[in-house]
Amino acid sequence: MSRHSIAVIAGDGIGNEVVPAAIECLQRIAGIHDLNMEFTYFDWGSDYYGRHGRMMPVDGLEQLAKHDAIFLGAVGSPEVPDAESLWGLLIPIRREFQQYINLRPVKTLDGVASPLAAKQPIDLLIVRENNEGEYSEVGGRMYRGLPQESAVQETIFTRLGVSRAAHYAARLAAARRGQLTSATKSNGIVHTMPFWDEIVEETVREYPGVTLTSELVDALAAHLVLKPWTFDVIVASNLFGDILSDLGSSVTGSIGLAPSANLNPEGNFPSLFEPVHGSAPDIAGKGLANPVGQIWSGAMMLEHLGHPEAAVHLQAAFEAALRDGFGTRDVGGTSSTSEFTAAVLTAIDALSANYTLSPGGVAAS
């Protein structure tokens, strides 16, 4: 039996609804695939901030470092400034644990209507550089409250940061359709983006089976709406990747579907798995939240931990629930969070007949 220790931070808002739903599905999968997943819960987030003046304890990162992975719900509350909630929890985790890849799949799912009129299936991956770029800490504000008040925010690109993101994206493209698109803005941002372009191009030359296209991010955003099915893998800076992945999930039907993985590919530190959506305080506690993004993030966690068959099983189950009409309100359905979760659990059991235990793990029969 494979054993994994998972740190769980449900966080705020609907995180407290979708995380338990996803864990219930993960536990059902674990029982079928002979996995022992030990979940340790941390009550960190905006409520913790209200009690202690910080999003997590001083030794929070040390506590998380003891685990194999981190499963996060959502962070954010109207009572806490966004800069406090993000920079007090998620960004320190990403940087301390060198989670320099943010991987975000974008895929059309049966049972979910896209707002696009075209019916071609969308299946692409967005590789977002996750540790530097536009989200640097370099900068500041001067003359607060005076007419000459000013703010400076520096974008930081390093050769290491850009090249390792490009390598990761190129490897993914080589294993898929061999098409890599790089998001840039080198016609207007005259120093950092040409630097990005040069390093991405140098890196991709090492992958002869991969075709690289560099596309200005504004044109790329339009392209993602007009013909998203033409993309395979997109590599982008921290800010561009953040924006493009939200756009991508929207054209497939709902941001509530979108998963993400904050990866330390070498496995030297725990990776973090979370849905792309936020805490959605307007619907929190009403049973309306779509748990697909959280469940899909759980499938990505299973794959990262070395259990691709279990991951495929879980993804097939939530896709089956959507296909059978159990979608939540945001995708045009009428199911509550708990009703959709129950449908996924039923699908997990129904699909388990397609899997058999073998000495090397679980293989599709």
pLDDT of residue 82: 86
**At 354, is the pLDDT very low, low, confident or very high (cuts 50, 70, 90)?**
confident
pLDDT of residue 240: 98
**At 300, is the pLDDT very low, low, confident or very high (cuts 50, 70, 90)?**
very high
> What is the percent of the chain where pLDDT is above 90?
92
362 has a pLDDT exceeding 90: no
pLDDT of residue 209: 95
pLDDT of residue 131: 96
Mean pLDDT over residues 10-28, rounded?
97
Judging by beta carbons within 10 Å of its beta carbon (0-12, 13-18, 19+), is residue 263 exposed, middle or buried? Answer: buried
What is the distance between the alpha carbons of residues 75 and 69, in angstroms, rounded to a whole number? Answer: 18
pLDDT of residue 356: 54
360 has a pLDDT exceeding 60: no
**Residue numbers annotated as active site:** 143, 185, 218, 242, 246
**At 2, is the pLDDT very low, low, confident or very high (cuts 50, 70, 90)?**
confident
pLDDT digits (tens, 9 = 90+) for 118-152: 889 999 999 999 999 999 989 999 999 999 999 99
pLDDT of residue 118: 86
Dig out the tokens for 171 from the structure: 């490897």
What is the distance between the alpha carbons of residues 248 and 254, in angstroms, rounded to a whole number? Answer: 9
Give the pTM.
0.93
What is the distance between the alpha carbons of residues 301 and 106, in angstroms, rounded to a whole number? Answer: 17
317 has a pLDDT exceeding 90: yes
To which H or E segment does residue 193 belong?
Answer: helix 192-204
pLDDT of residue 149: 97
365 has a pLDDT exceeding 50: no
Mean pLDDT over residues 7-32, rounded?
97
What is the distance between the alpha carbons of residues 203 and 306, in angstroms, rounded to a whole number? Answer: 27
What is the distance between the alpha carbons of residues 224 and 104, in angstroms, rounded to a whole number? Answer: 14
Beta-ladder partners of 335: 328
Mean pLDDT over residues 193-203, rounded?
98
pLDDT digits (tens, 9 = 90+) for 152-196: 999 999 999 999 999 999 999 999 999 999 999 999 999 999 999
Of 360 and 343, the one with more pLDDT: 343
Integer angstrom CA distances of residue 181 from 76, 330, 345, 358? 32, 30, 37, 39
**At 361, is the pLDDT very low, low, confident or very high (cuts 50, 70, 90)?**
very low
Mean pLDDT over residues 27-36, rounded?
95
